[in-house]
């Protein structure tokens, strides 16, 4: 599975959009981009995933560049409860491994 | 559905003791995983399984063993506990098919080896 690079930490004002970038320049054509988050040492929680089209669900939006070498997770109206570590993972379809990197610490401030 | 259930939630072991961390899922997922997370660090994959009877090593398998005799259960065995195994352990499961679904995690087992 391709390696990902994320900023170590980011701050966001409450109520504003949080944009979390992820670089995956070695991504292969059959690899998906997944986002998870981990709040306060709980078990990680799935957020969203995509292959090449932009995706949106009730939690977030995922924007994948046309060359698929990077992506951005968007939390449209961040709240204090969105403070967490956000992990970007690249994984093949039918992939048997799920390997986490260091992630981005997002701090939402009032 | 209970999802992914881990037991116990907390445990203190003495050096050299053995124990089994239990993990059960009721979602009929074929893939299951064990991770450890040291304080302030990310998750490291210990072992994973793609189905009953099949297991494989992850990033940090030394000092651990697993078995997968049923779809539902994926226990993690520590044979000779060492202080370096003090960590939070997470179990996860997923059902990978063409829709490539997400993984669900348990709430973790906090293990201290003294």
Q: pLDDT (tens digit, 9 = 90+) per residue, A46-101? A: 999 999 989 999 999 999 999 999 999 999 999 999 999 999 998 876 666 788 88
Flag whether residue B95 sits within 8 Å of chain A, measured between CB atoms. no
Is pLDDT above 90 for A15? yes
User: Is pLDDT of A23 > 90?
Assistant: yes
pLDDT digits (tens, 9 = 90+) for B35-54: 999 988 889 999 999 899 99
For A96, the closest chain B residue by CA position comes to: B50
User: Are A42 and B92 an interchain contact pair (Cβ–Cβ within 8 Å)?
Assistant: no
User: What is the structure's pLDDT at A93?
Assistant: 61
Give residue B99's pLDDT: 61
> A43 and B96: CB-CB below 8 Å?
no
Around Cβ A107, how many Cβ atoms within 10 Å? 14
Per-residue pLDDT of chain B (114 residues; tens, 9 = 90+): 679 999 999 999 999 999 999 999 999 999 999 999 998 888 999 999 989 999 999 999 999 999 999 999 999 999 899 999 999 999 999 987 656 568 899 999 999 999
Answer whether B61's CB lies under 8 Å from B46's CB. yes
Q: Assess contact for A100 and A4: CB atoms under 8 A.
A: no
Q: Do B42 and A100 touch (CB under 8 A)?
A: yes
How confident is the model at residue B108, as a pLDDT?
97
Whether the CB-CB separation of A24 and A33 falls below 8 Å is answered with: yes
| Average pLDDT over every residue of A7-20 | 97
Beta bridge partners of B47: B34, B57
Torsion of CA B57, B59, B63, B64, to 10 degrees: -40
H or E element, residue A105:
strand A104-109
Question: Residue B47: which of A47, B3, B36 has the closest Cα?
Answer: B36
Q: Where are the beta strands (DSSP E) in B1-114?
A: 4-7, 10-13, 19-25, 31-37, 43-51, 54-57, 64-66, 76-78, 87-94, 103-105, 109-113
């Amino acid at each position: 599975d391709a390696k990902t690079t994320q900023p170590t930490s980011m701050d966001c004002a409450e109520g504003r959009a949080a944009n979390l970038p992820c670089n995956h320049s070695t991504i292969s054509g059959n690899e998906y981009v997944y986002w998870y988050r981990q709040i306060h040492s709980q078990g990680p929680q799935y957020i969203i995933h995509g292959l090449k089209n932009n995706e949106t669900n009730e939690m977030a939006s995922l924007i994948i560049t046309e060359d698929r070498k990077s992506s951005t997770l968007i939390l449209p109206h961040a709240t204090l409860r969105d403070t967490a570590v956000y992990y970007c993972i690249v994984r093949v379809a039918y992939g048997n491994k799920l390997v986490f990197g260091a992630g981005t610490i997002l701090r939402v401030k009032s | 559905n209970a999802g992914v259930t881990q037991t116990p939630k907390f445990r203190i072991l003495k050096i050299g003791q053995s124990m089994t961390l239990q993990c059960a899922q009721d979602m009929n997922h074929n893939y299951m995983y064990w991770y450890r997370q040291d304080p302030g660090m990310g998750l490291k994959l210990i072992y994973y399984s793609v189905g009953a009877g099949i297991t494989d090593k992850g990033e940090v398998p030394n000092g651990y063993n697993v078995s997968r005799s049923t779809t539902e259960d994926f226990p993690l065995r520590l044979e000779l506990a060492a202080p370096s195994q003090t960590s939070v352990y997470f179990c996860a499961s997923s059902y990978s098919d063409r829709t490539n679904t997400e993984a669900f995690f348990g709430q973790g087992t906090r293990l201290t080896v003294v």
